[in-house]
Amino acid sequence: MTARRVLVTGASGFLGSHCLTPLAERGYDVIALHHARTPFDVPGVRWVHGDVMDRDAMRRIIGAEKPDGLLHLAWFVEPGKLIADPSNLTWVAASLDLIRAFREAGGERCVISGSCYEYDWRYGYCSEDVTPCEPDTLYGAAKDSLRRAFLSYCSVSGLSGAWGRAFFMYGPRENPARLVSSVILSLLKGVPAKSSHGLQVRDYLHIQDVADGLVALFASEANGPYNIAANAPVTIRQIVELIGVITGKSHLLQIGALPARANDAPLVLGDGRRALNDFGWKPKLTLEEGLSETVEWWQLHADDAGDRR
Amino acid sequence: MTARRVLVTGASGFLGSHCLTPLAERGYDVIALHHARTPFDVPGVRWVHGDVMDRDAMRRIIGAEKPDGLLHLAWFVEPGKLIADPSNLTWVAASLDLIRAFREAGGERCVISGSCYEYDWRYGYCSEDVTPCEPDTLYGAAKDSLRRAFLSYCSVSGLSGAWGRAFFMYGPRENPARLVSSVILSLLKGVPAKSSHGLQVRDYLHIQDVADGLVALFASEANGPYNIAANAPVTIRQIVELIGVITGKSHLLQIGALPARANDAPLVLGDGRRALNDFGWKPKLTLEEGLSETVEWWQLHADDAGDRR
């Protein structure tokens, strides 16, 4: 695999923004696509404005920039709406058109971000070769659908392709409405943070670890689906309590004050062995390290939380 | 289900053209979309020109015609190329955008044609609730991918949706390069018809039976995937030999003169019980009746075979 010039979609987003430096540090010529959000300076990265939904614009950008690599991370994101929003269909469609346009303009290597939502959560433990992909949300079905068509296209077109499944993420620039951000922001403001019983076991990673994993996958010759997972169980309650300890505001936690979601899966945990075996990646930060770094970041940035997604 | 005004895509194609009369006979107001091919008179059917790939045009047509039903049959078809052509990706994308545009303009009922190629053929017997969908062709993966996203969208959007899987088809207006057409045309011209050993067992239906099945599915309230299948095994050899008997040209058959395709599945047979149970459909024509009718049609139309797809 010799892709050197990589187009990153969703580059200004939560996940994308954390991929830029690792890509530049590996020596890639990084073309970062932004649309709704304002770009920010990253050494070695060149920003290009464009909308993945605009087929003509994407063909123009690909024709002009001639990337041989594509890291496609852009997707509809809005907490609470993501799971069932009809935009998920539109993102599958735009992604398929993008993949074909990229390949037919000479693209060689493509990695797309998938999700643990592709798996059937009734199985709990999510292992690439074993756990069935039978999602019960539109978001999961859309990612599952895109992956199936994408990987099949790779096998007939000669495009080198891999699919990195993110699990649960937290860290700098996360949408303030999400669990970790919202608990941190409440405690930093000195207001109570309510949560459910928190006994659900999940697979949580600091966003920089997820981004490093996707970049490592991109830089490898691995093909097919890969979990980018912590491979370590943690309860929501443990996360919330740890934030309380780190901020010194445990007394503001109101665990159990909110009802648990109906049918919430008791366990969603990713098997990380395939990524470790095939391209030598595993996460670096412990939960304590990751949460401490995130609290520090929010201490500096709490005021602009309203601008972030 | 009360859809009365149905937009049919691919209406001038092999399958679509056979759906128009059954729809009109059931009292639907039929809007038949055509693009590459010239329309032909069908009582009760109104033709509209438009390209499913053109999102703006489709939104205009849907806005102007206000269909509450959509029977989406259009797809890339070119014998030999269908299985691996990159256009399959583009058809998934255009179909997803069409489905969303239809629903958001008030559409109520949508049926899409799927394929036995969605199934993992190593299982041979294809039953909706049992046989895994793990296609090994891009065409199969594309249909599989579209179905997964479509049915998930139905469950969150309230769109009533079903998916009718066609198996192997023959009949009037079939592409002359396909098995049944090409054997008939060779024998009618008095030239030898070469085939492989023909021991593969398949599920073959006359196109009018498949079209009637899709229309019955559309008219029902059934949701989810349905085989539109013969539910009866036949070998390729039996089909070829029957054409020899019907045309009186058995001496021109050269069975075994061509090599069999590598890894050709020994058995592809559809379970028809779900369609029979849920909306009371089963095929009407025997293989003898269907092939005889097809031979008669080609006796009248052999001269314009070059124009047909």
Percent of chain A with pLDDT over 90: 91
| Interchain contact, A103 vs B86, CB within 8 Å | yes
Gyration radius from chain B CA atoms = 19
pLDDT tens figures, B155-208: 999 999 999 999 999 999 999 999 999 999 999 999 999 999 999 999 999 999
Q: How far apart are CA A124 and CA B165, in angstroms?
A: 32
Helix H or strand E encompassing A129:
none
User: What was the pLDDT predicted at A4?
Assistant: 94
From start to end of A108-223, where are the E strands? 109-115, 125-126, 160-166, 168-170, 193-195, 201-202, 204-206
Of the candidates A236, A292, A297, which has an alpha carbon nearest to the alpha carbon of residue A14?
A297
Q: Give chain A positions within 8 Å (CB) of B99.
A: 89
User: What was the pLDDT predicted at B304?
Assistant: 66
Q: Is the pLDDT of residue B308 over 70?
A: no
Structure pTM?
A: 0.95
| Interchain contact, B93 vs A92, CB within 8 Å | yes
Strand-pairing partners, residue B166, are B115, B228
| Interchain contact, A100 vs B89, CB within 8 Å | yes
User: What was the pLDDT predicted at A2?
Assistant: 66
Q: Cα A238 to the chain's mean position, in Å?
A: 22
Burial class (CB in 10 A: 0-12, 13-18, 19+), A216: buried
Most confident by average pLDDT, A77-81, A175-179, A187-191: A187-191
Question: Cβ neighbours of residue B241 under 8 Å, at least 6 residues apart?
Answer: B250, B253, B255
Of the candidates A26, A216, A51, A208, which has an alpha carbon nearest to the alpha carbon of residue A5?
A26
- Domain at A169-203+232-307: CATH architecture: Alpha-Beta Complex (3.90)
For chain A, the residues whose C-beta falls within 8 A of a C-beta of chain B are 84, 86, 88-90, 92-94, 96-97, 99-100, 103-104, 135, 137-138, 140-142, 144-146, 148-149, 151-153, 155-157
What pLDDT band is residue A190 in, cutting at 50, 70 and 90?
Answer: very high
Q: Which CATH number fits domain A5-119+133-167+205-228: 3.40.50.460, 2.40.37.10, 3.40.640.10, 3.40.50.720?
A: 3.40.50.720
Q: How far apart are CA A259 and CA A197, in angstroms?
A: 8
What pLDDT band is residue A307 in, cutting at 50, 70 and 90?
Answer: very low
| Interchain contact, B142 vs A156, CB within 8 Å | no
Q: How far apart are CA B239 and CA B226, in angstroms?
A: 25
| Token couple for B102 | 């239809």
User: What was the pLDDT predicted at B181?
Assistant: 96
Q: Collapsing DSSP states into helix, strand and coil, what is residue A238?
A: helix
Nearest residue of B to residue A95, measured between CA atoms = B93
For chain B, the residues whose C-beta falls within 8 A of a C-beta of chain A are 84, 86, 88-90, 92-94, 96-97, 99-100, 103-104, 135, 137-138, 140-142, 144-146, 148-149, 151-153, 155-157
User: What was the pLDDT predicted at A38?
Assistant: 85
Which superfamily does CATH assign the domain made up of B5-167+204-228 to? NAD(P)-binding Rossmann-like Domain (3.40.50.720)
DSSP string for B290-309: HHHHHHHHHHHHGGGGGG--
pLDDT tens figures, B63-85: 999 999 999 999 988 777 889 99
Q: Is the pLDDT of residue B307 over 60?
A: no
Q: How far apart are CA A132 and CA A225, in angstroms?
A: 13
| Interchain contact, A145 vs B149, CB within 8 Å | yes
User: What was the pLDDT predicted at A262?
Assistant: 78
Q: Is the pLDDT of residue A172 over 60?
A: yes
> From the list B93, B97, B156, which residue is nearest A138 (CB)?
B156
> Which CB contacts under 8 angstroms, 24+ apart, belong to A129-135?
A129/A274, A130/A271, A135/B152
Q: How far apart are CA B192 and CA B249, in angstroms?
A: 9
Select the residue from B88, B137, B153 to test the A interface by mutation, using most A Cβ atoms within 10 A. Answer: B153
- Mean pLDDT for A130-143 is 96
Select the residue from B87, B92, B154 to test the A interface by mutation, using most A Cβ atoms within 10 A. Answer: B92
> From the list B90, B99, B145, which residue is nearest A148 (CB)?
B145
User: What was the pLDDT predicted at A264?
Assistant: 87
Q: Find out whether B188 and B125 touch, Cβ atoms under 8 Å.
A: no
Q: How far apart are CA A159 and CA A111, in angstroms?
A: 10
Q: Find out whether A253 and A193 touch, Cβ atoms under 8 Å.
A: yes
What pLDDT band is residue A303 in, cutting at 50, 70 and 90?
Answer: confident
| Interchain contact, B146 vs A145, CB within 8 Å | yes
Q: Is the pLDDT of residue B136 over 50?
A: yes
Q: Give chain B positions within 8 Å (CB) of A155.
A: 138
| Token couple for B131 | 């046989």
Q: Is the pLDDT of residue B238 over 50?
A: yes
Q: How far apart are CA B98 and CA B54, in angstroms?
A: 10
- Domain at B169-203+232-267+285-307: CATH architecture: Alpha-Beta Complex (3.90)
* B200, B232, B252 from B195: Cα distances, Å: 12, 22, 11
pLDDT tens figures, A29-83: 999 999 988 888 999 999 999 999 999 999 999 999 999 999 999 998 877 788 9
- Mean pLDDT for B271-288 is 98
* A280, A283, B175, B265 from B142: Cα distances, Å: 32, 34, 22, 20
**Mean model confidence pLDDT for chain A:** 95
Give the residue ranges of DSSP H helices in A176-223.
179-189, 207-219
Q: Is the pLDDT of residue A309 over 60?
A: no
Give the residue ranges of DSSP H helices in B130-173.
138-157
| Interchain contact, A93 vs B89, CB within 8 Å | no
Domain ranges across chain A:
5-119+133-167+205-228, 169-203+232-307
User: What was the pLDDT predicted at B81?
Assistant: 85
